[in-house]
Each structure stands twice: as structure tokens, then as C-alpha cells.
Amino acid sequence: MKMNLRFSILCFFISSFSILPFTPGKWSYTDQFLFQKSKQGPSKEIVKNTEGKVVFTANYEYDSDGRLKTEIYFLGDGSPDGKREFDYKNGQIFQERGYDSNGVLFEKKEFYFKNGILKKLHVSDAEAKPIITYSLDTSKEGLVTFCEGKNYLTGDIESFRVEADPKNPNGLVQTLNDDKRRKVGEILLRFDSKKLLLEREFFQGDIQRKSKMEYDNEGKLIQYTFHVKQGETWILEKAHQLVYK
């Protein structure tokens, strides 16, 4: 279930990019449908492991404007694994709720905008006890250039900064920092000439991971894969297939 809160990765790109990840601790192609209208969102996601076995599926439902309303999760054997629901006000998302496999609320996220730009994301538990709050700086193009998150459970403060990649004119660098603003890792984002995201490569110490995206002729993402580097070899960990109606 998409409930992992690892408080270190939050990355949000407005509609000038085709991939709009934003959620703490994960990357999801469907996050873009929380912030812009679209009629081309996937209806289902199928996750397979290295052996090609289905280990997870998700069904996606949208409102009449094409914004994501519900994500419903299932384990590989078909048993339920929770869901997320999204609420909108005046055309903007303002709340996300996470439920476990028994339908019990365990998390709520509240989105705060100023002049149409996301400025703050607050995460709390079912009893409204604060878990973490993210503050955001955003460029005029809609790119979150800086984010700082305060974890109320541990007292940690972590942040990231996104800048142009000096080594790649079609790339960005997301630098991850600890509470003293010291670099602890980075993510390289590589795009093609149409600004479609091709790769996300993560570095932290000796850990190196990569995700790769595949598109159809219309520019819709049809699959993305996750890999980990062992020695000089990239090992496939899982593949996500997106199904469209």
C-alpha cells in the first residue's frame, strides 16, 4: 500500500513537465492528476517482481474533470490493501486521506496554496496529530526549487533543492540534505526534448538506484521499472505496467 513515509523525497513539477511527482517517500505517475485536468490517466497499475509475478495492483478512478479521486490497492493474491481518497475545492486539491486494508483511516494530508501555487503540505494521523509539515519554494514556471520538511515524531528537519543539471541540458538535479543542510544524496532527473521524464537515478553513499520510463507514440507512460546497481550490474527489482481504458 502507498503509505510509506520516509520523509526524504518530495518533488513536484507543475504542468511544464509531463511527470509530476510530489508525494513524500514515493514516486507515482498518477500524482500529476491531482494538480491538472487530464483525460488520459491510467485506470489500473500492475506491479510485477523480478520473476514476472504480480505482487501488487491498483485501480484508479477520476472525476469528470480528469482529476484523480480514488486509488484502490490490492496485493498479488487479490486481497485488499487499502485505498486513498482525494478531495478538491475550487479546482484545487485540498485533502488526501489514506485507509488501511480494513477501511480504517490512518493518515490525512492537507494542501495549502497561495496564488494558485502549492506552498505547504501538512501530514497528520487519524487523530489529527501532526506527523510532518513541508514548506515549499516554487519558481514562476511552477517548479518546486526548495522543500523543507519537519518531522514532529522524530524532531528531524530534512530538505531538498532542485536545480538545473550543469552536465545535462535536459536534466535536473535534486539534492537531498540533512537537518544541517549537508548533502546526503541526490537524484538525477533526465528528460527528452519533449520534456518527458526518461530516468530518475538516485545516489546515496554506496547505494545507486534507477527508474526508467517507457512511453507510447502519444506520449503516455505505459511502463516504468526500478533497478538497483550491484557491482557493475543493474538488477531489475520490479516493473509497473499502466493500463488505459
Q: What is the mean pLDDT of the chain?
A: 85
Question: What is the distance between the alpha carbons of residues 219 and 18, in angstroms, rounded to a whole number?
Answer: 9
Tens of pLDDT, residues 23-82: 334 556 777 778 766 667 899 999 999 999 999 999 999 998 889 999 999 999 999 999
| pLDDT grade for 7, boundaries at 50, 70 and 90 | very low
Tens of pLDDT, residues 68-120: 999 999 999 999 999 999 999 988 899 999 999 999 999 999 999 888 888 89
* In the chain, where the domains are located: 29-239
Is residue 17 pLDDT above 80, yes or no?
Answer: no
66 is written with which cell numbers? 480528469
Dihedral of the alpha carbons of 40, 41, 44, 46, in degrees to the nearest 10: 100
Tens of pLDDT, residues 159-189: 988 899 999 999 999 999 988 889 999 999 9
pLDDT at position 164, please?
92
Tens of pLDDT, residues 119-172: 899 999 999 999 999 998 877 666 778 889 899 998 989 898 889 999 999 999
Tens of pLDDT, residues 199-244: 999 999 999 999 999 999 988 999 999 999 999 999 999 999 999 9
Instruction: For the domain covering 29-239, report its CATH number.
Output: 2.40.160.190
Contacts of 222 (CB under 8 A, 6+ apart): 214, 215, 216, 241, 242
